[in-house]
Structure 1
């Protein structure tokens, strides 16, 4: 059974995953904490929590509240800052088999570019994920709120790094396909799409761009993951489920393996976009 996927075929460095299950940013810390609880080397990749140029304390407590249908959160991008990450965490990542993608966030295009420049070539860093849900201090608008802004920040980051660049889109737009196309044309190697609002985001975007799609949002089981993959996602990210069950990423992986075995599928790539008509 072959579960391996390639997330950055347009990038010379590439981003090869042993399987399509990724730990989503903000729910898995830096991976160090979870490494004490489960075999993280079995995962396809880990996306670390959002990283900024300088250390951020985040918002005051309470930051999270469980609801009947999910979770509300207002973390405020609490993180150690890029210099501490490079000094204290990246050397540990460099000893792991599982690739680690650093989620980066900025208040200006220049901040994103500086983060990309600083992380380029750092051992242990396998790629970058741009959190373009952040507001631009110059305009007050999210970087992902328009195709032009998404393209500008994507191009600026690509100019500064040889690492694979994944752009994580915001669902808070009227035309997510247009933003996705702009980011892809500006050089994004892959796109992370929340599929909660609207429900067809992954399906529609996969048909409109020629870069891999990473599905994210509400994945609790292997069957949930298979729905994303069959809609066109090359890989999936497991986020909120980790708060409920720290082993959720591995449960999802094992669910995918069971599905493939039961259906007699030998290669995960056979299922990507299988629901398209």
Structure 2
């Protein structure tokens, strides 16, 4: 397997300890959990998505393990502006704050709370199970552009996390770039559901949810590949990454870094595990493989 030379990396204006980040929504709910992930080998972390008002989220069950992955419908639960104090514990470290809103103005308002605490922002325009938020906006390139512009005006790194549940993700990526995105994150979960044949009803309290985990890795690779050809800003690959070889594959498709989410469920120390396999003093320079599958 290809190994990379270790060392810090800058992606989309954010300085990272390595190429591995914690994805939004996974152990990103407190300053203590974010610090724990950084201390176990992550090069950066993305927080739980924070919105303009507190939300309790959907009724349970909210998370169900299925063949090949995890099905979830959390409903974007968050404490809103009160989350600012949680970042005191990780101030000065590579923490990207995931934010959401229903309008460009709400995105700007939420981002404004974190300008002194965040290394950058990740715009959640891709959650598939929160009415009025997420993918409800992220399927419209004009809205993606407007929301991105509203946050990028704050002059902090602005990443935009896209949904795969569209006919043309490249158009969405270009819209984010026009709005001032410094990086694009691909992808969020894939719309999905399961039904309990014993109970004769959907297994999730919200009925519908999003699928993550190894089953969506090939979808994520294809989306990264398409975005690399369509956009000029860096891409952060996300979706089913669970090994060092997965990281290399994502980078060959065009990713400059990757986010890891569902795999943390099986191994909270997975960042250190992957880093041990991914990096070697005699490895190649990482930029040599970014997008090399396009040659």
Q: TM-score range by the shorter chain?
A: 0.7 to 0.9
Partner of 1:214: 236
Report 1:163-174 matches (<5 A): 163-174=156-167
**TM-score after normalising by structure 2:** 0.81
For residues 241 and 186 of structure 1, do their structure 2 counterparts lie closer, same or farther at Cα, with a shift above 3 Å needed? same
Q: What is the CA-CA distance between 1:125 and the residue it aligns to?
A: 1.2
**Can you list the C-alpha shifts for 1:161-204, whole angstroms capped at 9, x where unaligned?**
12100000011100001110111121000000126536511112
**Can you list the C-alpha shifts for 1:118-147, whole angstroms capped at 9, x where unaligned?**
222x2x311100000256849x97211022
Q: What is the CA-CA distance between 1:90 and the residue it aligns to?
A: 1.8
Mapped partners of 1:137, 1:65: distance in 2: 24
Aligned with 2:274 (options 233, 238, 252):
252
Mapped partners of 1:33, 1:106: distance in 2: 25
In the alignment, is residue 5 of structure 1 matched against residue 23 of structure 2?
A: no
**Can you list the C-alpha shifts for 1:230-268, whole angstroms capped at 9, x where unaligned?**
1110000000011122112222222211xx55xx43422
Q: CA contact under 8 A between 2:35 and 2:90: conserved in structure 1?
A: no
How many corresponding residue pairs? 260
Partner of 1:21: 20
**TM-score after normalising by structure 1:** 0.86
Mapped partners of 1:107, 1:38: distance in 2: 30
Partner of 1:148: 142
Mapped partners of 1:248, 1:147: distance in 2: 35
For residues 113 and 38 of structure 1, do their structure 2 counterparts lie closer, same or farther at Cα, with a shift above 3 Å needed? closer
Q: CA contact under 8 A between 1:107 and 1:136: conserved in structure 2?
A: no
In the alignment, is residue 115 of structure 1 matched against residue 110 of structure 2?
A: yes
Q: CA contact under 8 A between 1:108 and 1:137: conserved in structure 2?
A: no
Mapped partners of 2:156, 2:36: distance in 1: 29
In the alignment, is residue 85 of structure 1 matched against residue 83 of structure 2?
A: yes
Task: Give 5+ residue unaligned stretches, structure 1.
Answer: 9-13
Mapped partners of 2:131, 2:55: distance in 1: 17
Q: What is the CA-CA distance between 1:41 and the residue it aligns to?
A: 6.3
Task: Note the aligned Cα RMSD (angstroms).
Answer: 2.3
Mapped partners of 1:111, 1:39: distance in 2: 29
In the alignment, is residue 55 of structure 1 matched against residue 54 of structure 2?
A: yes
User: Comparing both chains, which one has the higher relative contact order based on Cα–Cα distances under 8 Å and sequence gaps of 6 or more?
Assistant: 2
- The DSSP-based 3-state class of the residue aligned with 2:149 is helix
197-206 or 213-222, which deviates more: 197-206
Partner of 2:262: 240
- The DSSP-based 3-state class of the residue aligned with 2:165 is coil
Report 1:40-51 matches (<5 A): 40=39, 42-51=41-50
Partner of 1:11: none
- The DSSP-based 3-state class of the residue aligned with 2:252 is helix
Mapped partners of 2:36, 2:135: distance in 1: 39
Aligned with 1:201 (options 213, 223, 228):
223
Q: CA contact under 8 A between 2:221 and 2:250: conserved in structure 1?
A: no
Mapped partners of 1:38, 1:117: distance in 2: 25
Q: What is the CA-CA distance between 1:99 and the residue it aligns to?
A: 0.6
